[in-house]
Structure 1
Amino acid sequence: MKKTLLALVLCAGLSNAQTLLSDNFNAYTVGNIGTSATGASAGQGGWYTTASSTDTGATNVSFQIANNDATHGKVVKITGSAAAAGSRSVYKSISTLWSTRTSGNNIVQVEFDIYTGAATTSKNATRVYIYDSGLTKILSGVSLAQDTKVIQGVGYYDATAGGGSVGNYGFYLGGTSTAPADLTLSASSWIRVGIAFDKTTGNVYWKGPGFNGYVAGAATGVDPSSIYLLASAGTSNAVSADHLFDNLTVTAVNAINLLGTNEVIEKNSDSFKIYPNPATDFITVEGKDKVIAAYAYDASSKRIELSVQNGKIDVSTLTAGVYVIGLKTKNSYVTKKLIKK
């Protein structure tokens, strides 16, 4: 059931950010991620792979580390089902990491890149969820329909006031709070998305290209337990689809700042410097590792690919404003704030 997006929210300032998990998958070996499709044991990087009981076609080969493009390098690729039922998941527990978080950091933020996929008739959906320990409550998540390219927020919500029940619901991410609408993304594009859950208030947050909102969720006091990357089949599905994920970070914070300008992806982000800043045409990058790709995120979280040559990044095509510059090396992913004149 799809509900109205109840409110829009501006990001607050971030303090005491604590990185719990950061993975760009480049250190892994191309091939199978896991050891089976049943989640029996951990695979590469401690990630598990599994398929639901209704998915009879999944094998270990359905979950891959694959080479993508020069910008993304190696990515997670889940081959979705060609049947009308079942889901396939790559997942990792964050329970221990969460239990050792800094006191007061009761908001979990998950940021990641997903590929919208080529035009297709597949009824598969690309999803990223934050689950509770019982895997019954989606504390926050997004779901992207491969056939329509409509993206929606997902969260555990109390709909009893409207005649419904307490459960996991989908939410419109387009339109306004008084006139909600589907939000359709462009095909064949990488986008960066952020989702978050506040244990103290139960609030569920989503941010990405063209959306920035939240609802008051129904899981107040619940601890996040695991991060799931999913490929889920839909009713009447008969076509498989590939689902690609990259550059995933999990942070514990005390104030929401999804896809913000604070440098929380790598703890030692000061090891990279960019100048001049403000910039007009080019910026120079100095750091411990070679930057192999760069991109900019504008105020709406739209991703813009940038050219990198000999340690310089061409920003001449950007319009004036404030951007988050993503710098990708072989082993890390760092963000820096840039002002374009």
Structure 2
Amino acid sequence: MKRKLLISLFCLSFVSSFNSQVLQQENFDALNTATIVGQSGYQKLNGANSDYMVATATPGKNLKITGAATAGTGTARFLWKDGLDAAWASRTTGNNIIQIEYDFFTGPASTSNNAGGIELYDSTYNYYLGGLTMQQSDKTIFGIYTTGATVTLTDLGAGTPTPAPVVLPANTWVRVGFAYNTANGTVTFKGPGFYKTITGTDIKVPYEFDYAVQTLVATNTASSDNLFDNVVARAVATENLLLATNETSLSLEQDISIYPNPATDFINVKGKAKILNVYIYDMSGIRMDAEMVNNKVNVQNLKTGTYLIGFKTEKGLVTKKFSKR
């Protein structure tokens, strides 16, 4: 497979949740704790199989891609599975926006110039329809898009024509996402500290998304671990990044309920789905681990405000909006 490297370069309605379609999703919990290559159809480009591992979390599992300790040809890491193009072709008419969201661990302080994220391509792999990547050395996150056949790496903060950089907090799980409108070429990026839209990018057909770890500058002397979890690609009619009420099927979403809402001390959880892990996200996308004991989640230490509670299940991630008072 031929690739191009980037060098130097909720107040949502029931209808929007119902109309969204899951194209591909992965939470890694059904996979063996070993290399992911060869499991569930996953393939890689560059590096050893041991650079692409299903790792144990507490509890559950995630994906760990180890970036190279050098830069240059053959050092980038790409992981993917086939099938996105077929799923996209069979989407419901009118769902012309593809959204990809995922949890990413920013990691400790590092000298590595590796950057990790997810990228969406057309069938030629020359057009990046959207993507996000975070440089490990300074935790700056960038958006990726293509205009006039030129791939652009952009800062995601405020400001025109030179946007400010967005730096993510170290050692933190964050939920980030991007959306690509196949009708008009609009690309949207969203996550902690950013919500940015680029208009007029090249219009192409989504073909494949990859987990990608690569250097953004010409030199690198340190490797890095890049952790991913709770990945979902959806087809939607209206962009609603990081706000959807469920990331699986409507039937699964209805199988989990929470009360009371608003909550003061505890949230009670009721449902048939097997829950593997519980997270709480603030409305910017910062993820906090939570513990469920006897079907209760302690929210006493949260500040007053609005949050999402995420339930990692065997079938995907279900999120519910709640208020803490």
Do these two structures clear the TM 0.5 threshold for a shared fold by scoring above it? yes
Q: Is the 8 A contact 2:12 2:244 kept in 1?
A: no
How far apart, in 2, do the equivalents of 1:245 and 1:33 lie?
13
**Residue of structure 2 in register with 1:238 after alignment:** 221
Contact kept in structure 2, 1:21 and 1:251, CA below 8 Å: yes
Cα gap change, 1:11 to 1:125, in 2 (>3 Å): farther
Secondary structure at the aligned position of 2:108 is classed as coil
- Residue number among 282, 287, 299 corresponding to 2:271 in the alignment: 287
Hey, what's the Cα distance between the residues in 2 that align with 1:212 and 1:265? 24
Kindly provide the CA deviation profile for residues 164-209 of structure 1, in whole angstroms up to 9, marking residues without a partner as x.
xx41101111234476211111111111111110000100111111
CA gap 1:206/1:231 in 2 versus in 1, 3 angstroms: same
Q: d(CA) in 1 for partners of 2:152 and 2:12?
A: 26
Query: Which stretches in structure 1 are left out of the alignment for 5+ residues?
Result: 3-9, 35-42, 52-57, 159-165
Aligned partner of 1:150 in structure 2 is 140
Tell me what 1:39 maps to: none
Q: In the alignment, which residue of structure 1 is the partner of 2:248?
A: 265
Question: 1:170 matched to which residue of 2?
Answer: 153
1:225 counterpart (186, 207, 232): 207
Give the corresponding residue for 2:292.
308
Deviations 1:250-275 (A, max 9, x none): 11000000000422334421111111
1:1-341 matched pairs, under 5 angstroms: 14=16, 16-34=19-37, 43-51=38-46, 58-70=47-59, 73-85=60-72, 86-93=75-82, 94-158=84-148, 166-177=149-160, 180-220=163-203, 222-233=204-215, 234-267=217-250, 268-341=252-325
Deviates more, 1:330-339 or 1:92-101: 330-339
Does the aligned pair in 2 maintain the 1:89–1:228 contact within 8 Å? yes
CA distance in 1, matches of 2:298, 2:200: 42
**Contact map agreement 2:145 2:152 (CA 8 A) in 1:** yes
Q: Which amino acid aligns with 2:33?
A: V
TM-score (norm 2): 0.89
Which piece of structure 1 moves more, 131-140 or 86-95? Answer: 86-95
Moved more, 171-180 or 191-200: 171-180
Output the TM-score relative to the length of structure 1.
Answer: 0.85
Distance 1:261 1:98, change over 3 A: closer
Distance in 2 (alpha carbons) for counterparts of 1:11 and 1:216: 25
Shift in CA distance, 91/335, structure 1 to aligned 2, threshold 3 Å:
same
Q: Distance in 2 between matches of 1:182 and 1:98?
A: 33
The verdict on how the C-alpha distance between 1:178 and 1:232 changes in structure 2, with shifts beyond 3 A counting, is closer
DSSP-derived class of the 2:103 partner: strand
177 and 338 in structure 1: CA distance in 2 versus 1, 3 angstrom threshold:
farther
Residue 289 of structure 1 and its aligned partner are, at CA, apart by 3.3
Mapped to 2, the partners of 1:323 and 1:12 lie a distance apart of 14
Give the SS at the match of 2:227: strand
In the alignment, residue 63 of structure 1 is paired with which amino acid? Y
Q: Distance in 2 between matches of 1:331 and 1:95?
A: 21
Query: How many residue pairs get matched?
Result: 310
The amino acid of 1:28's aligned partner reads L
CA distance in 2, matches of 1:315, 1:179: 40
Cα offset, 1:141, TM superposition: 0.4
Contact 1:210/1:302 (<8 A) preserved: no
The answer for the alignment partner of 1:38 in structure 2 is none
1:331 shift after superposition: 4.7
What is the letter of the counterpart of residue 206 of structure 2? P
Query: Pairwise CA RMSD of aligned residues?
Result: 2.1
Identity %: 37
Native 8 Å contact 1:27 1:331 kept in 2: no
2:185/2:200 contact within 8 Å kept: yes
User: For structure 1, which segment, 255-264 or 222-231, has the greater mean C-alpha deviation from structure 2 after superposition?
Assistant: 255-264
Q: How far off is 1:65 after superposition?
A: 1.1
2:291 counterpart SS class: strand
